[in-house]
Amino acid sequence: MPKKPKKVSPSFKIWLEINGKPLIGKGGIRILQAIEKEGSISKAAKSLGMSYRYVWGYLTKMEDVFGEPVVKTRVGGVEGGGAKLTKTGRWLVNEYLKLESLVEKTLKRLK
């Protein structure tokens, strides 16, 4: 008697590139979303279980590849420091999420 077939389902990974260089993937989107939510790179890193150094390095690399800032930071003081996404950062998140949604809908139709 043949074994019961295992359920096989499609999966995918998406990342955005510029001139063949990786720009951002799901992890980077999570970082940007956390920065937007927390208003701080350090709080975002902590909420994701990542080090500040890793997140800062990821942002620096992304901005080097893209050639534009995706996060705007504010130095501490009376009101304290913080960070927020630039228009470019919000655009990247929105474009990625639209693409991810499109792929998910396409895969659901194939099931």
Domain harbouring 35, CATH code: 1.10.10.10
Looking at residue 32, its pLDDT comes to 98
Which one-letter amino acid corresponds to residue 90?
R
Comparing 20-29, 34-43, 53-62, 101-110, the range with the smallest average pLDDT is: 101-110
Answer yes or no: is 33 within a domain: yes
Quote the pTM value: 0.85
Answer yes or no: is 102 within a domain: yes
What total of structural domains would you count in the chain? Answer: 1
Q: Regarding predicted confidence, which is higher, 75 or 78?
A: 75
What mean pLDDT is predicted for residues 32-48? 96
Answer yes or no: is 16 within a domain: no
Q: What is the DSSP string of 25-44?
A: EHHHHHHHHHHHHHSSHHHH
What is the rounded distance in angstroms from the CA atom of residue 52 to the CA atom of residue 34? 12
Exposed e or buried b per residue across 29-59, where buried means at least 16 C-beta atoms within 10 angstroms of its C-beta? bebbbbbbebebbbbbbeebebeeeebeebb
